[in-house]
Amino acid sequence: MIPRLDNLNPVQSLYLEFFNQLTAKGFAGDVNPDYANRVVLATDNSIYQVLPQGVVYPKQTSDLVMIAKLASEARFKDVVLAPRGGGTGTNGQSLTDGVVVDISRHMNQILEINAEEGWVRVQTGVVKDQLNAALKPHGLFFAPELSTSNRATIGGMINTDASGQGSCLYGKTRDHVLALNSVFLDGSEWLSEPMTDAELEAVKQRNDKVGEVHRLVDAIHSENRALIVDVFPPLNRCLTGYDLAHIRTEEGLFDLNSVLCGAEGSLAFITEAKLNVLPIPEYAALVNIKYAGFQDSLEDAKQIMGCGPTSVETIDSKVLSLAMQDIVWQTVEDYFPQDAAEPEIKGINLVEYTAASQAELEAGVARLTAYLDEVNQQPAKSFGYSVVYGSAEISKVWAMRKKAVGLLGNAKGQQRPIPFVEDTAVPPENLAPFIAEFRALLDQHGLAYGMFGHVDAGVLHVRPAMDMKDEVDEALVRTVTDGVVALTQKYNGLLWGEHGKGVRSEYAPAFFGELYPQLQRLKAGFDPFNQLNPGKIATPADSGAELLKIDEVPTRGQQDRLIPLAARDEYSQAMFCNGNGACYNYDPKDAMCPSWKVTRERKHSPKGRSSLVREWLKQLAEHNTDPVAEYHKVRASNFLFTLPGRLLNTLSLKRGQYDFNHEVYEAMQGCLSCKSCVAQCPIKVNVPDFRARFLELYYGRYMRPVKDYLLAGLEPLLPALAKWPGLYNALTQRPAMRAATAKLLGLIDNPAMSPESLAGQLEAQAVELATVSGIARLNQADRVRSVILVQDAFTSHFEVQLVLDVIELLQRLGFNVLLAPFMPNGKPLHVHGFMKGFEKTADRNTEMLKALESTGVPLVGIDPAMTLTYRQEYRDNPERDQVEVQLLQEWLAGQSDALKGYAADYNLGAGEFVLLAHCTEKTSAAASMKGWQQIFADCGQTLTQAATGCCGMSGTYGHEAENADTSAGIYKMSWSGVVNAPENRDRLVATGYSCRSQVKRQDQQQIPHPLQRLLYLSR
Ligand SMILES: Cc1cc2nc3c(=O)[nH]c(=O)nc-3n(C[C@H](O)[C@H](O)[C@H](O)COP(=O)(O)OP(=O)(O)OC[C@H]3O[C@@H](n4cnc5c(N)ncnc54)[C@H](O)[C@@H]3O)c2cc1C
Ligand code: SF4
Ligand code: SF4
């Protein structure tokens, strides 16, 4: 049995007192010094891991005022604070060993949109894509772009002065900041916007922090004008952080925002921002240009820039090939046609044009294509291109490019691309020679890498592949960074071109030279005791404090290497999570992680769960416990023999005994096992997989709730129960019984069994059970038109009519339908961590299905989630035979003639329908969604897929009383609106059993399966 884990790094007493005082003063947000929160917020996307003392989640500006005031009291002078947004920084920007102040959980409202004047006011926890989604109906957008736009916050963007694709036209974040509402360290609140000298003089008279910082910043600027001009390079990506060069606007106004933007949370908390927004360009085109060499694509950029595009982005063959292996490729593959006669693509330039009219757009594109046609196939020039028109299509290519950044982390092996020199900027004309030397430096150390970047701005993204668990590789961080710093200096560039400084601030004194003491003076004015994100950008003058050093901050690799190899291998999914945060996707219409979206608690995300599992493995190792050996022990143990121990442990837990295992358990319990992470995480982090294995060990120590046995054991019992559906329904559906089941077992809204059993109906539809001998007796013609429906527990017992309808439709299409004998599939066992039972069930079922498969008749499953188990959970055991069970649409999409014949025979007419797909199916078998559209098209119908996230049911999750609120919350996020939209009335179809039953439960509507809809058209 796994040991109790209570050997934690305790919260320091000073911080405990700080948290107690906050609570006592009426802090409205959450104060979380628990270990799970600390572990989850100990990482960002950098190589570092720093355990904070606790996390606070302010609800409103007054909470931040309270934090700042308390921290400025003499007794709390040693308390340090780091503001945090999406936590997507690549250089430890939001990491601290003090208090993380996470502004993103609650302060994420768009406060005001003024379309007429072209500005918005937002709380700084708003995510960039969230803002643009709200602006879209007004024809506006917030222009600064970044790859993490679906999870990075406006606060984070302002504080790193973020920018990306399109920066040559649109500039950086600070170019769009009109006003900022900040809280300074003494608790004063200040709305900063450009001001006249008279206004400045008035503010300077104030006798508080606001007056002090205005006096100071103005003095620093006036005293050092010439030096400032010398030090700040005239690059598109000029120096961020304490930007003294732009204290005065072009109109001569004094602008404090210039030092606040890019300050990385080291000067103030920024609570609200007024931002400039622009009209969405009406006309846009993207030219995708192919090269046989990456260096060629870089060299060609100069000529391309001469053709006047809006932006030029480049990606190398490594990044491209990773994108090609991901589901994202399906959305863009048509734009990258590959002719066998052409050379292999080794580099791509993506060139965007935007314009106010179609004619202007076409003229721009024509300039470029004329050049490309002229040099086509010449040495070091491109060998082909495609043009994409319209922002909807173009955004698919940009989404692929954005995702490619994360995909780089999915390289095979222990050495994975990591960020630390990933955003250098040099004058664009120096980029090609700079990159040639950069590559030579990496080659010299034998490091593999992928590259992409903004050629137009001279910004290059490189992530060398290293294993930070290996001390030799770890030491290379210093060697390579020093080498790259020297190179950027040689080419008049910067180490920090885009992502901010963070831990790399140690290079700031060298870059700023004589001006650096002025930065220290500035920091001292805002933060004299070095409490706000200390060690980043600059230390306060005369404080003796030092900047962080790239090789002195604790790294994740140092923690991970404490985990024994066998455990790392067993939990490689959690080990390889690189923290890029793609699972924090804000979009309610995207399937990625419903549990994070509904709770806004990061421990309930794939990244949070991975972080907790790594910490858990480390702690097990500290207790000399090998999780792999523990599986064997748990599987070999006797239920009764281990009962007293589990009972005692459970009692102790209930009496309040602390166990870190339980914190991990709580995070795992929140997971719906929807599997969206498996397909959508660029690293394919498979939470349901490690969750199941964790639960197996956890329940080796603690008692399982009775409901787990019922839910997991229902499958094999159902055939027997189905003999008396009336009795089953009487026992489960009466109000008193429902109340009792909810109270005693924690199960709610249990579905009613179909009144007639499937077995009893088969004869009427002339359907036989599939057997090897029966199929052998079929003549060749009948065998060719045969198909075997593989039953699943849910449709076969709770939706008998659906199974019968599917059979009827397939028969009308001319198929000989056979039904595989019912065998439990085992998915519920897996979900609840009964791994021994699952393995046995999967083996038995595979044996039966393999025999049927050997007949050559296709095997097809109706329910997507259950069917996909055969190619996912079943294949996790490499020793098990693989069986091919297709999704209905995968098989039926290949039966075009039969479908067309059916449409003609029954004169179906034309209709328009909307598909609500099961999230496991649309993420794990994304290509098959086109299959549904094909099937409907062959029947003369139009089918469009609704953009939805998870429905909130996911198997039995929604039936567990403890999940009632989150399940309903998830449903409301994206399903309820689509289900109740008047235009969707009688047009919806849903593929998943779970989804249909969730709609019935939440909205009392019965949505048919797509094949039922097609069948009903013929009646
Ligand atoms: C895969 C990947 C791709 C990336 N691509 C880009 C890119 O194209 N362009 C780009 O610019 N960056 C990029 N980044 C870096 C990162 O996404 C940006 O720096 C982003 O702006 C950070 O936003 P965030 O909300 O995650 O902030 P965090 O990482 O949480 O914080 C960033 C900094 O801002 C401070 N901060 C956050 N909110 C506040 C606030 N309200 N008040 C005061 N301080 C605050 C923090 O203390 C920290 O110093 C990328 C990162 C990853 C992982
Ligand atoms: S779970 Fe996947 S998407 Fe989330 S942070 Fe980890 S690697 Fe990125
Ligand atoms: S399975 Fe679903 S709920 Fe669980 S972590 Fe993955 S995406 Fe989130």
pLDDT mean over 110-134: 98
Binding site membership of 949 for ligand 3 (Cβ less than 6 Å) = no
How far apart are alpha carbons 880 and 875 in whole angstroms?
Answer: 7
Under a CB-based contact definition with an 8 Å cutoff, are residues 793 and 838 in contact?
no
Q: What pLDDT, on a 0 to 100 scale, did the predictor assign at position 842?
A: 98
Q: Report which ligand 2 atom has the smallest distance to the Cα of 576.
A: 7
From the CA of 454, which ligand is nearest?
A: 1
Residues within 6 Å of ligand 2 by CB: 577-583, 606-607, 610, 681, 683, 685
Minimal-distance CA residue to ligand 1 atom 27: 156
For residues 543 and 527, what is the distance between their CA atoms, to the nearest angstrom? 11
The residues near 53 (Cβ < 8 Å, ≥ 6 apart) are 11, 12, 15, 33, 38, 97, 98, 99
pLDDT band at 233 (very low <50, low <70, confident <90, very high): low
3-state secondary structure of 355: strand
SS (H, E, C) 229-243: HHHCCCCCCCCCCCC
Q: Containing H/E element for 461?
A: strand 459-466
Six token digits for residue 754: 């179909």
Q: Is the CB of 130 under 6 A from ligand 1?
A: no
Closest by alpha carbon to 833, among 650, 702, 653? 702
C-alpha 681 to ligand 1 mean position (Å): 19
Nearest-atom index, ligand 1, CA of 44: 29
Q: Is the CB of 955 inside a 6 Å radius of any atom of ligand 3?
A: no
Q: Which atom of ligand 2 is nearest to the CA of 687?
A: 1
Ligand 3 atom closest to 583 (CA): 7
Cα 665 to ligand 2 centre (Å): 19
Query: What pLDDT score does 318 carry?
Result: 84
In this prediction, residues 275-299 reach a mean pLDDT of 93
What pLDDT is stored for residue 748 in this prediction? 92
What tokens does 950 get?
């998870």
Query: 134-161 pLDDT, tens per residue?
Result: 999 999 999 999 989 999 999 999 999 9
How far is CA 657 from each of CA 260, 615, 618, 654, 670, rounded to the nearest angstrom?
Answer: 46, 19, 21, 7, 21
Distance CA 555, CA 469 (A): 9
Closest ligand to the CA of 404:
1
pLDDT in tens, 767-806: 999 999 999 999 999 999 999 999 999 999 999 999 999 9
Report the candidate in 161, 43, 59, 160 with the shortest Cα–Cα distance to residue 101.
59
Among the listed residues 1, 31, 45, 9, the one whose alpha carbon sits nearest the alpha carbon of residue 580: 45
**Ligand 2 atom closest to Cα of residue 584:** 4
Strands ordered across the beta sheet of 177-183: 110-114, 119-123, 269-276, 177-183, 189-192
pLDDT at 329 over 90: no
* Mean pLDDT, residues 4-33: 96
Closest CA to 995 of 827, 864, 806: 864
pLDDT tens profile 310-320:
999 998 888 88
Q: Whose CA is nearest to atom 2 of ligand 2?
A: 681
- The reported pLDDT for the residue numbered 237 is 59
Q: What pLDDT band is residue 759 in, cutting at 50, 70 and 90?
A: confident
Model confidence pLDDT, tens digit, residues 242-259: 999 999 999 999 999 999
How much is the pTM?
Answer: 0.94
What is the distance in A from the centroid of ligand 2 to the CA of 714? 33
| Residue of the CA atom closest to atom 6 of ligand 3 | 677
> Which residue from 88, 611, 680, 681 has its CB within 8 A of the most atoms of ligand 2, so it is best to mutate?
681
Spatial distance between the Cα atoms of 128 and 86, rounded to a whole number of angstroms = 10
Is 309 touching ligand 1 by the criterion CB < 6 Å? Answer: no
H helix intervals, 408-536: 431-444, 471-490, 508-512, 516-526
pLDDT at 410: 74
Contact 159, 264 (CB under 8 A): yes
Task: State both tokens at 31.
Answer: 């104060």
Ligand 2 nearest atom to the CA of residue 683, by list position: 7
Tens digits of residue pLDDT in 655-687: 999 999 999 999 999 999 999 999 899 888 999
**In a 3-state reduction of DSSP, which class is residue 987?**
coil
What mean pLDDT is predicted for residues 906-925?
A: 95
From the CB of 94, is ligand 1 less than 6 Å away?
Answer: yes
- Pocket flag, ligand 3, residue 85 (CB < 6 Å): no
Q: Give 438-445 contacts, CB < 8 A, sequence gap 24+.
A: 438/462, 438/484, 438/487, 441/480, 441/483, 441/484, 441/487, 442/480, 445/476, 445/479, 445/480
CA of 687, nearest ligand number: 3
Q: What is the pLDDT, as a whole number, of residue 385? A: 94
**Tokens found for residue 945:** 């897929």
pLDDT band per the 50, 70, 90 thresholds, residue 413:
confident
Distance 543 CA to ligand 3 centre (A): 46
Atom of ligand 1 nearest to the CA of 268: 43
Q: What is the mean pLDDT of residues 462-466?
A: 92
Distance CA 19, CA 252 (A): 44
User: Once rounded to an integer, what is the mean pLDDT over residues 986-1002?
Assistant: 97
Which of ligand 3's atoms lies nearest the C-alpha of 685?
A: 6
Degrees (nearest 5) of the Cα angle 790, 923, 1015? 45
Of 399 and 550, the one with more pLDDT: 550
User: Residue 788 burial (CB < 10 Å; 0-12/13-18/19+)?
Assistant: buried
Ligand 3 pocket test, pick from 687, 694, 950 with the greatest ligand atom count within 8 Å of Cβ, gives 687
Residue 972's pLDDT is 97
User: Which has the higher per-residue pLDDT, 807 or 396?
Assistant: 807
Q: What are residue 859's phi and psi, to 5 degrees?
A: -100, 130
397/401 Cα distance (integer angstroms): 6
Question: Is the confidence at residue 302, as pLDDT, over 90?
Answer: no
Cβ neighbours of residue 505 under 8 Å, at least 6 residues apart?
A: 535, 536, 537, 538, 547, 548
Angle among Cα 876, 879, 882 to the nearest 5 degrees reads 70
372 close to ligand 3 (CB < 6 Angstrom): no
Among 159, 236, 313, name the best residue to mutate to test ligand 1's pocket (greatest count of ligand atoms within 8 A of Cβ): 159
pLDDT over 80 (residue 892)? yes
Task: Give the ligand at the shortest distance from the Cα of 682.
Answer: 2
The model's pLDDT over 600-614, given as tens digits with 9 standing for 90+, comes to 999 999 999 999 999
What pLDDT digit, counting tens, does each position of 72-101 carry? Answer: 999 999 999 999 999 999 999 999 999 999
Sign of the CA dihedral 805, 808, 812, 816? positive
What is the mean predicted confidence (pLDDT) over 615-629? 96
Q: What is the mean pLDDT of residues 214-237?
A: 86
pLDDT of 236 higher than 60: no
At residue 238, the pLDDT reads 62
Residue range 332-349: mean pLDDT, rounded: 86
Residues 6+ apart with CB under 8 A from 659: 4, 5, 6, 653
pLDDT at 328: 80
H/E segment holding residue 673? none
At residue 408, does pLDDT exceed 80?
no
